[in-house]
Amino acid sequence: KAGVTQTPRYLIKTRGQQVTLSCSPISGHRSVSWYQQTPGQGLQFLFEYFSETQRNKGNFPGRFSGRQFSNSRSEMNVSTLELGDSALYLCASSLTVPRGTDTQYFGPGTRLTVL
Amino acid sequence: GQNIDQPTEMTATEGAIVQINCTYQTSGFNGLFWYQQHAGEAPTFLSYNVLDGLEEKGRFSSFLSRSKGYSYLLLKELQMKDSASYLCALGNTPLVFGKGTRLSVIA
């Protein structure tokens, strides 16, 4: 079974631009979560989706948004990029509705660099 | 809040045993996860403890004590490939991750 895939793997943008990242979960998984990982802060939770509905949102500004499609694929968007948005963005999928008991399986991440 | 503390870095010798601790302060959670993350790669699932006690999986074991707010990951017969970051995460919605412990295995 194929794992979680994320595209693109690497991205370089300049301040003020916007970016869209994509995540395809493991086949059959209906829950997708997004995280931002930086050396200083570790893994910070962004959003969590199940059946096209956002179930939870982390403490990030409104410039960060996301959505999930009927095939469980998910996208996240960051508008008006800032230097501090440079990070590894990880997507993780799990089988069912988020309950804190299901194992999350991570994709390889998208490395975003903002210049 | 759900403060999670892990040592930032640890170094151990090939063939040895190392214990990576994770302490937390929280009012409740479903279980505790451990993930391994090699540099530049995605975190991969190692173990999940829902009940107090030790869960053994080959060279890796994980322990949980809810009353003490404490978990540890035990790695036996260390190999060079075990050099990675180890993340503990509280099983809530959403998962809450510690900042991770970077383990270096030296010859």
Q: What is the pLDDT along chain A (115 residues), one digit of tens a residue?
A: 689 999 999 999 999 999 999 999 999 999 999 999 998 888 999 999 999 999 999 999 999 999 999 999 999 999 999 999 999 999 999 998 767 778 899 999 999 999 9
Structure confidence at residue A46 (pLDDT): 96
Predicted confidence at residue A96, as pLDDT, reads: 83
DSSP-assigned letter for residue A26? P
Residue B27 pLDDT: 67
Amino acid at site A105: Y
Average pLDDT over residues B79-92: 94
> Is B27 in a helix, a strand, or coil?
coil
- The residue of chain A nearest to residue B28, with distances taken between CA atoms, is A100
Q: How far is B4 from chain A (nearest CA, A)?
A: 11
Chain B residues lying within 8 Å of A43, measured CB to CB: 43, 87, 89, 97, 100
Select the residue from A56, A89, A103 to test the B interface by mutation, using most B Cβ atoms within 10 A. A103
- Taking the Cβ of residue A39 and every Cβ of chain B, the question of whether any pair is shorter than 8 Å is answered with no
| Residue predicted with more confidence, B94 or A53 | A53
Q: Is the pLDDT of residue B96 over 70?
A: yes
- The pLDDT assigned to A42 comes to 87
Percent of chain B scored above 90 by pLDDT?
81
pLDDT tens figures, A38-55: 988 889 999 999 999 999
Largest interatomic CA distance in chain B: 42
Establish, for the pair of chains A and B, how many residue pairs have beta carbons separated by less than 8 Å.
59
- Check CB contact under 8 Å for A100 and B42: no
Q: Which of B41, B87, B97 sits opposite A108 (nearest CB)?
A: B41
B46 CB within 8 Å of a chain A CB: no
Q: What does each C-alpha distance from B57 to A16, B61, B62, B63, B76 come to in angstroms?
A: 47, 6, 8, 11, 11
Structure token digits, residue B2:
């759900």
pLDDT at B1 over 60: no
Q: How many whole angstroms separate alpha carbon B69 and alpha carbon A50?
A: 30
SS3 readout for B61-100: EEEEECCCCEEEEEECCCCHHHCEEEEEEECCCCCEECCC
Task: For B5-36, write each residue's pLDDT tens digit.
Answer: 999 999 999 999 999 999 999 868 889 999 99
